Amino acid sequence: MNSELLYRYSKTKQNKPGFSVVKGEPYKTLFEISDPCKNDILFATYCTISCFGKYDCFADSLLKRNPVSTFDLIYISKGEAIVNYSKNDKNMKDMIRTGDVFIAPLNCSYHIAPKKNSTIILLSHYGVIGEKYYEFICRKEPCRIVPMSHDTSFQVYLDNLYFYAKYAFQVNKILAINTLIQIFTKIYLSSLNPEEYNTLGQPSWIQQALYYMENNYMHKITVADVAGACGLSASYFHKLFNEYTGQSPYDYLKKIRLTRARTMLLESNDLIKQIAISVGMPSTNHFIEAFKKETGLSPENYRMKYKK
């Protein structure tokens, strides 16, 4: 197992649950669960909880967190508070309201000052999955505030996580990881700009590219044509598409064509040449060569083997 992960996991043992009260009336703990996977290193380094608690905090108090090797998620269940943290060596001050989530990175010290009596949920977590989601959500920002007030399922996930963490036998540890991923995914999707991303978290340009290819594969289209439909230059689109899908636009288009060709081979009696033209590959020899490379069979043999 990665020695750095094990070292960071060992550092999390220095964490203290809850908050330190700097001034004002002490908060009331509604529930608090610490390190439910403390005897299972595999779960711990993968994705798990350091501290999960719910607290009634009083107006005009000042609370401090200094997490060690963990990421903090603060959810304002009720009320509002000012959060103070450092960003690029500058002290930042932001308001977080009911339904907001505040995301803090590893070893980020911050203060919370409730402006009215507030109920705050703290989810301090560690592991490689949570770290990747932090990168997705915060991008290059050290901290991020994400509104979740219109997502009713978010509170349900937190309730489920409470049960799985409190009764942490083996199957519940797995369910807790799954629920943590659902929580992180909800926050990630809520953090996206709706003008740039669709509801699945896809950039708008990839949605436009896939739609264009799936509706025009039968024509002689080029990468430049697809890029133009997305409002991008051909070279930049090619680079983005490769990074996002792991394959070139041409290879993706070819897969669409060959998938459609398989269907036509099994559902029609069209000649191989006709099918090749119908899927946008007018060179029969090129079509046969590509089909055999993709399936291991020539179009003729594929039809003979699978057509009923």
Sorted by where each begins, the domain ranges of the chain are: 3-191, 204-306
Cβ atoms 78, 98 nearer than 8 A: yes
- Encode pLDDT of 260-308 as tens digits: 898 899 989 999 999 999 999 999 999 999 999 989 999 999 999 888 7
Predicted pLDDT at 67: 80
The CA radius of gyration of the chain, in Å to the nearest whole number, is 26
State pTM to two decimals.
0.64
Predicted pLDDT at 284: 94
Predicted pLDDT at 208: 86
Query: CA–CA separation, 101 vs 47, rounded Å?
Result: 19
Architecture per CATH, domain 3-191, reads as: Sandwich (2.60)
Which residues, 6+ apart, have CB-to-CB distance to 61 below 8 Å? 21, 23, 24, 25, 26, 27, 113, 114
What is the CATH number that goes with domain 204-306? 1.10.10.60
Kindly state the helix (H) or strand (E) to which residue 286 belongs, with its residue range: helix 284-295
Question: What is the DSSP secondary-structure string of 143-202?
Answer: SEEEE-TT-HHHHHHHHHHHHHHHT--HHHHHHHHHHHHHHHHHHHHHHS-TTTB-TTS-
Question: With the CA atoms of 81, 85, 88 and 90 taken in that order, what torsion angle do they form, in degrees rounded to the nearest 10?
Answer: 80
Look-up: residue for tokens 């994705």? 47
Predicted pLDDT at 150: 64
Phi, psi of 126 (to 5 degrees): -150, 170
Report, as ranges of residue numbers, the positions in the chain whose pLDDT lies below 50.
Answer: none
Cβ atoms 249, 241 nearer than 8 A: yes
Strand partners, 48: 126
Predicted pLDDT at 169: 80
- Residue 75's SS3 state is strand
Six token digits for residue 270: 């069209």
CA 100, distance to chain mean position in Å, is 18
DSSP type of residue 88: T
Kindly state the helix (H) or strand (E) to which residue 64 belongs, with its residue range: strand 62-65
